[in-house]
Amino acid sequence: MSVGALGALRLPGVLTRLRADLFSYLRHVRWLRRSGGPSLRTLEPELGTLQAGLDRLLRQLQLLMSRLALPQAPPDPPAPPLARLASAWGRIQAAHAILGGLQLTLDWAVRGLLLLKTRL
């Protein structure tokens, strides 16, 4: 995200996008836990902790949005089921991509929220 785009952020947009992104990552983490197979068994405790953390973060985000009287986002349309990966290597690559994307999303959220905090 460019510096100009960071300057144009507005609270409702940031929170709505963060909510949608977190729901997407929560769905992907659940999928990883279901379809991970033996290749991801060693990550099961961390994936469980991550799923619980995403659930908690989404609840707190929803509470914040209701406290600020922001319009509630419409429910997301049902997403198509995620494909089952046949190879262990494919599951490891999927986990790496999902967790890397989540890290970037959370980095974006922290930057955006800190910027907005200084404006409030």
Q: What is the pLDDT of residues 64-95, one digit of tens each?
A: 888 888 877 666 667 777 777 778 888 888 88
Is pLDDT of 29 > 90?
A: yes
**DSSP strand E in 1-120: where?**
none
- Please return the burial class of 75, using the count of CB atoms within 10 Å of its CB with bins 0-12, 13-18 and 19+: exposed
Is pLDDT of 53 > 90?
A: yes
Integer Cα distance of 16 and 37 in angstroms: 33
Distances from the Cα of 46 to the Cαs of 9, 20, 42, 43, 61, in angstroms?
32, 22, 8, 5, 22
Count of alpha carbons within 13 Å of 62, Cβ hemisphere only?
12
Fold of domain 8-72+83-119: Growth Hormone; Chain: A; (1.20.1250)
Distances from the Cα of 12 to the Cαs of 6, 55, 72, in angstroms?
14, 20, 10
**Domain residue spans of the chain:** 8-72+83-119
